[in-house]
A and B are shown apart, each in its own frame.
Chain A
């Protein structure tokens, strides 16, 4: 089972992101479960959502305590919410920021993690470019797909177009594709830069 926890703020599509991820995984024949941190979502308030993906039936109903991947949609949460609760050094971490982990003050904390599983990406900038609105969720999902290979970009593209009709779906899909490409490029660059 692969478990994802998404942190953001009310209005940024945190709950929708988990749902879309589950729809994409489901479309690829996998079992998936998505649910929000229940109840008190308000615009601007910290919101958490969860998604589980597995090859067999998912029975558990507990919140994701030990995520395999963490997506942070809003870096202003870094010093307000316990974003890293239950994190192991095996976890993938994807943060919406144009700054590096070092610049965000997380370099030391993430020292023991696998560098190829860590990435910051300017998802809000991609969203502004393609959607014209600062909604980073679709873009981050594209990044997630490139980083973890848990869902394909194609499945994500279909999920976004099914969820948002017409031009909105196209723009969201474009934002996801742009981040996907960005993450693939970043991974290639770091591979070439690596001493091995």
Chain B
């Protein structure tokens, strides 16, 4: 049924339809509403049998998830930002052990400086952990991806992370066609573990593996992700046939047929980019968009094909590798190697900075004029940066840059207090 519903609520109710048996999470903005709603459903007996386990930290949340998944329970958790970093050792373990945990990552920037707003640096920090990472463009897709995630995770024995933009999606109220329990039950069979801790049939999980087999274990994990490249589109297609929702898959193209400039991005910013592309199209420019839903595994072939007609590829992302440039841009550049296309890396929306259609239109126009630099920071306040650089050059003890910038821009805490 189509409902006007908050993204977090839609995800929580959809997760409940997937009948998780153990939910274990620690609250952190902007993931909180999801976990509160799931917890309330468990408490009210609406989600049963299910145990909601309160823990003292994210490290415990993922550790308990590992335990419950190894015991054969369908297991769900959610986190954001610093919470993900706090559990990172267990995040790697979950993947290394091949436990099909599903986790929502409500994407948020990583400190310092502390920032609760959206970007993708948290997802990128665990890019190499062995988790499948799927990015949602809308709240409809965020909800739907969770159903597909449980199916995919359990088929392949690989944990899956559903990434949805913190606040921008989690706190947005919009129309979501919510699934019926019978539809989800028909799509998602009961969990059949490939490995399970069973006292009647004892096994060890997580033994030490030396140089004689470690590389093979890792390579097997890689192969499972390569298998996922086949399964992700197949599962999405089956899901669409059942529900009519075009959610998930590897990549999605918009107005790329004759495009010579294509913007590549992850997540909710795709909507704003599509609007910008429509405007530039009206001005006669041949521009298009490719959204990547599956970031890990990275669908190299699908991306190459989707970009095959373009001479300029703008990879716009909400994260970057400090000291080099775009993370997604590096992946894209690698897979289009050998073509004549030029890849431009654009870093945007860090720490919640709004990515506006106007800025995107300017970016596209700049690109068409051939004036785009290989690495661009969208809407960067260069003057403010220059002033801080000057302060650093003029005195040794210039102080902390973050606080200097706030003072410089007149938005530090003292200034805001003085206002009120």
Give the number of A-B contacts (CB < 8 Å). 76
B168–A35 touching, CB < 8 Å: yes
Task: State the Cβ distance, A125 to closest chain B Cβ, in Å.
Answer: 25
Stretch at the interface among B221-229, B267-275, B332-340: B267-275
Chain A residues positioned under 8 Å from B166 (CB to CB): 38
B346-365 CB mask vs A (1 if < 8 Å, else 0) is: 00000010111110000000
B168's nearest neighbour on chain A, judged by CB, is A61
Does B125 have its Cβ within 8 Å of any Cβ on chain A? Answer: no
Does B118 have its Cβ within 8 Å of any Cβ on chain A? Answer: yes
B308-334 CB mask vs A (1 if < 8 Å, else 0) is: 000000000000000000000000000
A22–B269 touching, CB < 8 Å: no
B117–A23 touching, CB < 8 Å: no
A19's nearest neighbour on chain B, judged by CB, is B173
Using known A-B contacts A23-B4, A38-B117, A38-B352, determine if residue A58 contacts B174 with beta carbons closer than 8 Å: yes
Does B29 have its Cβ within 8 Å of any Cβ on chain A? Answer: yes
Report the count of interface residues on B (CB-CB < 8 A).
30
A80–B174 touching, CB < 8 Å: no
Does B179 have its Cβ within 8 Å of any Cβ on chain A? Answer: no
Interface bin, chain A? 20 to 34
Does B127 have its Cβ within 8 Å of any Cβ on chain A? Answer: no
Does A34 have its Cβ within 8 Å of any Cβ on chain B? Answer: yes
Chain A residues positioned under 8 Å from B357 (CB to CB): 60, 62
Does B6 have its Cβ within 8 Å of any Cβ on chain A? Answer: yes
Q: Report Cα–Cα, A121/B42, bound state, in Å.
A: 44
Task: State the Cβ distance, B116 to closest chain A Cβ, in Å.
Answer: 5
A38–B4 touching, CB < 8 Å: no
Chain A residues positioned under 8 Å from B29 (CB to CB): 39
- CB interface residues, B 379-420, toward A, < 8 Å: 419-420
A38–B171 touching, CB < 8 Å: yes
B174–A40 touching, CB < 8 Å: no
Q: Report Cα–Cα, A22/B420, bound state, in Å.
A: 31
Chain A residues positioned under 8 Å from B131 (CB to CB): none
B4–A35 touching, CB < 8 Å: no
Which of B4, B117, B271 contacts A60 (CB under 8 A)? B271
Q: Report Cα–Cα, A80/B30, bound state, in Å.
A: 27
B116–A60 touching, CB < 8 Å: no
A34–B275 touching, CB < 8 Å: no
Does B300 have its Cβ within 8 Å of any Cβ on chain A? Answer: no
Which of A19, A26, A34, A38 contacts B167 (CB under 8 A)? A38
Which of B116, B272, B358 contacts A61 (CB under 8 A)? B272
A12-42 CB mask vs B (1 if < 8 Å, else 0) is: 0000001100110011000111111011100
A62–B355 touching, CB < 8 Å: yes
Q: Report Cα–Cα, A21/B274, bound state, in Å.
A: 25
Chain A residues positioned under 8 Å from B172 (CB to CB): 33-35, 61
Q: Report Cα–Cα, A60/B29, bound state, in Å.
A: 23
Does B175 have its Cβ within 8 Å of any Cβ on chain A? Answer: yes
Residues of B within 8 A of A (CB): 4, 6, 29-30, 116-118, 165-168, 171-175, 268-269, 271-272, 274-275, 352, 354-358, 419-420
Residues of A within 8 A of B (CB): 18-19, 22-23, 26-27, 31-36, 38-40, 44-45, 58-63, 65, 80
Enumerate the 4 nearest inter-chain pairs by beta-carbon distance, A residue then B residue, closest first. Answer: A59-B271, A38-B167, A26-B4, A35-B172
